[in-house]
Amino acid sequence: MHAMIEGYYRAGWEVYLLAMNTKRHPVPDTVLRTAYSHIQYVETVPVDNSVKLAHTITNLLFSKQPNHADRFSHRQFADKLVEVLKKFQPDIVQLESLYLASYLPSIKKYCKAHTILRLHNVEHEVWQRLAVETVNPLKKWYLNNLSRRIKKFEHDIWPRFDLLLPITKADENVVKQVMDSVRTIVVPFAIDTSLLPITAKEAQWNAYHIGAMDWLPNIEAIKWFLDEVWPSVHLAHPQFKFFFAGRKMPVEFTQITYPGVVCEGEVADAFDFIGDKKILVVPLRSGGGIRIKVMEAMAAGKIVISTTVGMQGIDAVPGVHYLLANTAAEFAQAITFCLHDQKQANVIAAMGAGFIQQEYSYTHIMNTFMGKLEDMLMDNRA
């Protein structure tokens, strides 16, 4: 979202940022306004989008919409949006989540803007994969039900926008298979490598994982890695350590007693946490979109060991830019390779860093997107 805001601003557009300040991930207004003091307008609206059991059950029994869409539909935000549309009269309104689509009728009613939906994921695939990995029968049933609802919601919503911005080519292909007439521009996540901090720490040959631990795919990934991968790794390399961190860390993880495993909970500085660790493990088995932490790690010269899902949307070559591992045995083999052949592992890490800096640089991606967008708008005017 930050990259898109900056892309419009640097292209000379006036930018109005209207953001939900959600109860699940609150940010002080002063932080957001300070971060975006250079754009024209910044406003936030407090929204309670927390998951509540009673609401979840009511949604399941009496609504056809996915629970996620209901949780982001709030009268206070709708009123502020209408106020902004009347005042600002935008040429483009870009929504950064599928679950904000309930506001689309108001957008079309109160302004003549082109509407854009940023696809961070094909959402129903995230929940499909989670259902496949889930053992509990009741939980599996609910996740399958939720996935079907989200899929129907997506298929209904996608053609209502003037343009979709999928974050990966794979996501664009999913959209086009359903409805080829929908206009799309693939805009991968971009990083400004010049802003990545330079650490003075010497990286040790230990592994780490960092990610939001209130996101179910991350929880499932860590559980799988600790249960299925770590025992054999620790047996073969007793001095090797695995560190993991992230916000909203579940209590069960803070109390783990696996030998060689360190849970650091929520860390104040992510780059300080990863600075002295050489190997990033990404054991994701569900989810979608693109992994920001993977790209940042590669750009910083870390060696990445990841599943296919973990590398989704990053067109890196396994064995050249990173190490691919989809099974417990493959993860163990990849870690052993890194420890036994550090020279070759460093070559792969360097290749990965160069690849990210060339293909996913902020300037390259945003300039390409803004050029395509301007062409589309000119075609529409003609």
Rounded to 5°, angle at Cα 151 from 20 and 149 = 80
- pLDDT of 281 reads 97
Token pair, residue 308, equals: 């296919």
- pLDDT of 363 reads 81
* Euclidean distance between CA atoms 367 and 262, whole angstroms: 42
Cα dihedral across residues 357, 199, 30, 45: positive or negative: positive
In whole numbers, what is the pLDDT of the chain averaged over residues? Answer: 91
- pLDDT of 25 reads 83
How far, CA to CA in Å, does 187 sit from each of 21, 166, 181, 248? 25, 6, 18, 29
- pLDDT of 255 reads 92
- Residue-range domains of the chain with CATH: 2-190+362-381 (3.40.50.2000), 193-359 (3.40.50.2000)
Below-50 pLDDT ranges, the chain? 289
- Does the pTM surpass 0.85? The reply is no
- pLDDT of 107 reads 96
- pLDDT of 80 reads 96
- pLDDT of 200 reads 56
Amino acid identity, residue 150? Answer: I
Q: What is the DSSP string of 233-260?
A: HHHH-TT--EEEE-SS--HHHHT---TT
- pLDDT of 135 reads 86
How far, CA to CA in Å, does 289 sit from each of 131, 153, 230, 271? 17, 18, 26, 22
